[in-house]
Amino acid sequence: MAAIDVLMPFRDAAPWIGDAWASLCRQRFRDWRLVAVDDGSRDGSAGRLVAAAAGDSRLHLISAPARGVAAALNRGLDEATAPVVARMDADDLSHPARLAALWRLLADDPGAGVAATRVRLFPARRVSPAMGRYLAWQNGLLDPGALWRERFVECTVTHASVAVRTENLRACGGWWEGDGPEDLDLFLRLHRQGVRFVKHPGVLYYWRERPGRETRTSARMRPGAFRAVKARHLAGDLAGRGPVLVFGTGRSLDAWAAALAGQGVPVQASAYRPGQPPPGWDGVAVFCFGSARARDRVRRALRGRREGEDYWFVA
């Protein structure tokens, strides 16, 4: 049994999958196995991977019908035997120190269940300004408290960069196979179970930016789908807390008020801009601001209120 099972679902990844395997073979941490799940490829991806592995017994290849990435991940999880499952996508690359760093983070901190690293997008010419800003924000979140506080804003870690204790993955039911982002849903379920996230400060995962990436093409990744997942999980935190004041501006305020109301949360929408005098309320509040700077201004204004108890941020 390996110490880490690297779980890699793939579909039509022939141009890149050999390089992904090679980056695993360069790992300084050697006690790993690749659980690769072919999700209905039609371009010979599996053959490319087998040829790259050249008989290496650390490759465990599973052929599955094309049911989507979440189903492929769950198929791989069914066959995981290691105490830690690390994710990787077939078009990405791992730094040689990546698995060692993830293993050490979890070994040194028994209270942590999810470990990640900082990430670099490549090639640089394909990285949009918006994606660059998102990754700069994500890479700036290193403290476990920050990873928890910002959980309803966006994914605070890159899915393919993480390692998770296998027992935590199984305890939360694996990946959601619904109509939305399976990574965000998984992270929010783990947070609700009290699993602590930690992040290594090194840039140890290389995330390929390309037009055909599922994040760009799948209807599951539309903004409304992300909001629906966040609202579903946030509604659990708000249950039984009485009417909720939702603060924000414009379409974001309207969309979030509607999303929470759709989850059965009694809401009252109220316009509020950062920089105004801090609002007062009884009960709990939700603030809808996509700007990290705006959130920080509101936090400063709300000193004395407890984030995660009296108020939450969403985006």
Domain for residue 229, yes or no? no
Percent of the chain with pLDDT strictly greater than 70 = 97
Is residue 173 domain-shared with residue 42, that is, in the same domain? yes
Boundary (domain end) residue, out of 220, 251, 268: 220
Domain that holds residue 86: 4-220
> Sorting pLDDT into bands at 50, 70 and 90, what band is 223?
confident
> Sorting pLDDT into bands at 50, 70 and 90, what band is 220?
low
Strands (E), 78-226: 84-87, 93-94, 112-122, 163-165, 196-208
Domain for residue 113, yes or no? yes
Rounded distance between C-alpha atoms, residue 91 and residue 223, angstroms: 24
Is residue 134 domain-shared with residue 84, that is, in the same domain? yes
Rounded distance between C-alpha atoms, residue 228 and residue 255, angstroms: 10
pLDDT for res 58: 98
Number of domains in the chain: 2
Rounded distance between C-alpha atoms, residue 21 and residue 52, angstroms: 7
Domain for residue 232, yes or no? no
Is residue 186 domain-shared with residue 69, that is, in the same domain? yes
Domain for residue 233, yes or no? no
Is residue 158 domain-shared with residue 278, that is, in the same domain? no
Tokens of 29: 């941490």
What lies within 8 Å, CB to CB, of 55 at 6+ separation is none
Domain for residue 211, yes or no? yes
Is residue 213 domain-shared with residue 284, that is, in the same domain? no
Nearest residue to 238 via CA among 207, 254, 262, 208: 262
Boundary (domain end) residue, out of 192, 220, 248: 220
DSSP SS3 for 74? helix
Does residue 261 contact residue 267 with C-beta atoms inside 8 Å?
yes
pLDDT digits (tens, 9 = 90+) for 46-94: 999 999 999 999 999 999 999 999 999 999 999 999 999 999 999 999 9
DSSP codes joined into one string, 126-138: G--HHHHHHHHHH
Cα of first residue to Cα of last residue in the chain, in angstroms, is 42
Is residue 304 domain-shared with residue 172, that is, in the same domain? no
Is residue 189 domain-shared with residue 264, that is, in the same domain? no
Is residue 242 domain-shared with residue 216, that is, in the same domain? no
Strands (E), 191-265: 196-208, 244-248
What predicted TM-score, i.e. pTM, was given to this entire model?
0.94
Is residue 209 domain-shared with residue 177, that is, in the same domain? yes
pLDDT digits (tens, 9 = 90+) for 121-149: 999 999 999 999 999 999 999 999 999 99
Rounded distance between C-alpha atoms, residue 41 and residue 140, angstroms: 36
Is residue 77 domain-shared with residue 150, that is, in the same domain? yes
Is residue 245 domain-shared with residue 146, that is, in the same domain? no
Is residue 206 domain-shared with residue 254, that is, in the same domain? no
CATH number of the domain to which 69 belongs: 3.90.550.10
Name the residue type at position 304.
Answer: G
Instruction: Look at residue 242 and tell me whether its pLDDT is greater than 90.
Output: no
- Torsion angle defined by CA atoms of residues 8, 137, 225 and 188, in that order, rounded to the nearest 10 degrees: 70
